[in-house]
Structures are given as structure tokens and as C-alpha cells.
Amino acid sequence: YGLFPCEGKPYDVVDLIERIVDDSAFEQFKEDYGKTIVCGYARVDGWAVGIVANQRKIVKSRKGEMQMGGVIYNDSADKAARFILNCNQKKIPLVFLQDVTGFMVGSRSEHSGIIKDGAKLVNAVANSVVPKFTFIIGNSYGAGNYAMCGKAYDPRFIYAWPSAKIAVMGGDQAAKTLLQIQVAGMKAQGKEVSPAQEQQLLDEIKGRYEKQTSPYYAAARLWVDDIIDPKDTRKLISEGIHAANHNPYMNDLKTGVFQV
């Protein structure tokens, strides 16, 4: 509990992973490349697993550029896709730890290949044939939810920590967007909207939106299988792999064409 901060503050996800895996032994894959996603091999209760986790602290890329934690950049998407394919080739189950705000946007990111590399990651996750287990430990926003094996990509189990937030976008951003739409509609009807009324509407929208990002709201609609105590994460990974082994048959991995 002491490692995971409140209010979305940065943290090192490797510290969390080392508390989950056997003997804190975590062998990272391409540690110095694509640092906003941490990938690596470990064992949980003796079972071999591949872990894909969002890094929430601010990191520096190979080119010396600062990258925001929780955001998927083109290099991290490329690394995660390669790692997922490696685990499929070795028949190693995958564990996803989600704390993601989405893909990096903007012309600079697009010129770097975020659309190509993001599609590569989504392709790898969607076509993965090994057992997949997803834990939403923090944010799970927009396309990042899909890239990190959200409900749509059929993980064997998907769990949420009480700190999880599941939405199309962050609360503040969404509330401001919805406010603009609502105010524009009122003005189109000839109604005057004062700054005080705008603030009241913003608070109402934000409160409603925050309620709908709650893991309890998601669990009530079966978007997650359960809301768990974080200390049970290790036990549930082990139980999930044990259950998956009752059906050891796997389809052949078929990903189609990857753009490089």
C-alpha cells in the first residue's frame, strides 16, 4: 500500500512488480528502450509469466527527450508488441498492469510513427493466443485500455484495484468538453449563460463523470470481473494460470501483416 500513491502521482511500477513476483526477481526486456511501458519475465508462485506494465514516472528517451508516465509512445508500443509476440512464441502467459492515459498525440508523435507502432501493439494484443490476465491498478483511458488488453481483447480475467478509473478520457478534460457542448446548445436556444452558471454546470458534469469512472460503476456493468484488494494480485495471477491450464489447447498465432 505504501508504494502506490494517491491522486495519480508518479511512481515506479518496477517497485510494484518486484512485490508481486517470486523473490523480487524481474528480468526486464529492453530496459533502456520504450521506457513508458515496462516489459519483462518473472515467476509468480512458480509459474512463468510475461509482465507488461505502464510506467507512471517521467522518463527520458534514448534521444534525451522527456516522456510522460502513463502515456504510450511509439518506442514503447514497438517494444511491447515485440515482447508480446516473444511470449506467444514461448507459450508464456501474459499479465497486464494498466495505469494508462492513452497514446501520445501531436504532429511530432505522428511523424515518429505512433499510428504504425500503436497499430502493431493492438494487433499483437488482439491476436495473442496465450492466457492473458489484466489488472487495472490506476487509469484506464481511451485507446490505452485496448492496447493494454482491456475487456474487448478477451483476457481470461480482468480485475480492478479500488484506485482504478475507467473512462474514455480523464475527468477534467471530459468535463470541459461536455461543458462546451452543453453551453453551445443553451446559447443556440437563445439562453444567456453567466460564468457562475458555467462553473455550476462544470461541477455537476465533473461529479457525474467521476462517479462513472469508478471501478464499482464498471463492475456493476461487468466491465471487470472483480474489484480486488491489491495484496491479492499475486494470488489471483497464480489461480488464473492454474485455471487456464485446465484447457492447455492454444490456437496458432496469426497476426497478419505488420508494418515496420
Write the CA distances from 163 to 103, 135, 150, 214, integer angstroms: 21, 11, 16, 8
Question: Where is 194: in which H helix or E strand?
Answer: none
Does residue 257 belong to any structural domain of this protein?
A: no
> What is the pTM (predicted TM-score) of this model?
0.88
How large is the C-alpha radius of gyration of the chain? 20
Asked if residue 35 lies in contact with residue 73, where contact means CB atoms within 8 angstroms, the answer is: no
Query: In the predicted model, what is the mean pLDDT of residues 129-140?
Result: 95
Question: Does residue 127 lie in a domain region?
Answer: yes
Kindly state whether residue 249 falls inside one of the protein's structural domains.
no
Q: Do residues 175 and 74 share a domain?
A: no
Question: 259 is written with which cell numbers?
Answer: 508494418
Q: Let me know if residue 72 belongs to a domain.
A: yes
Same domain, 76 and 139: yes
Rounded CA-CA distance 60/39 in Å is: 17
248 in any annotated domain: no
Helix (H, G, I), strand (E, B) or coil at 103: strand
Answer yes or no: do 81 and 32 share one domain.
Answer: yes
Q: Look up the domain containing 175 and give its range.
A: 171-212
Per-residue pLDDT at 260:
66
Return the SS3 of 38. Answer: strand
Residue 151 per-residue DSSP state: G
Copy the grid coordinates of residue 166: 475507467
* C-alpha cell belonging to residue 221: 456493468
How confident is the model over 240-251, as pLDDT tens digits? 999 999 887 888
Query: Are 52 and 143 contained in the same domain?
Result: yes
Structural domain contains residue 3 = no
**101 and 196 part of one domain:** no
Longest CA–CA span in the chain (Å) reads 67
Q: Which of the listed ranges 89-93, 109-113, 212-216 does the model predict with the highest average pLDDT?
A: 89-93
Instruction: Return the percentage of the chain with pLDDT > 90, whole number.
Output: 58
38 φ, ψ (degrees, to nearest 5) = -95, 125
Same domain flag for 163 and 63:
yes
The pLDDT tens digits for 156-193 are 999 999 999 998 766 666 667 777 787 788 778 888 77
The reply to whether 2 falls in a domain is no
Q: Using alpha carbons, select from 10, 128, 8 the residue that is nearest to residue 66.
A: 10
Task: Report whether pLDDT(115) > 80.
Answer: yes
* Nearest-10 Cα torsion for 155, 157, 158, 160: -160
Is 213's pLDDT higher than 90? no
Cell of 96: 497486464
Shared domain check, 125 and 113: yes
Q: Which helix (H) or strand (E) holds 59?
A: strand 59-60
Residue 147 located in a structural domain: yes
Per the structure, the count of domains in the chain is 2
* Together in a domain, 85 and 185: no
> Which H or E run includes 120?
helix 114-127
Residues 179, 162 share a domain: no
| Least confident range of 14-23, 134-143, 206-215 | 206-215
Q: Using one digit for the tens of pLDDT, what is the confidence trace for 24-58?
A: 999 999 999 999 999 999 999 999 999 999 999 98
Contacts of 93 (CB under 8 A, 6+ apart): 47, 48, 49, 50, 87, 130, 131, 132, 133, 241, 244
Asked whether residue 80 falls in the same domain as residue 125, the answer is yes
Which has the higher per-residue pLDDT, 228 or 111?
Answer: 228
Closest CA to 143 of 176, 118, 111: 118
Residue 213 near residue 171 (C-beta atoms within 8 A): yes
Give me the count of residues in the chain. Answer: 260
- Domain harbouring 74, CATH code: 3.90.226.10
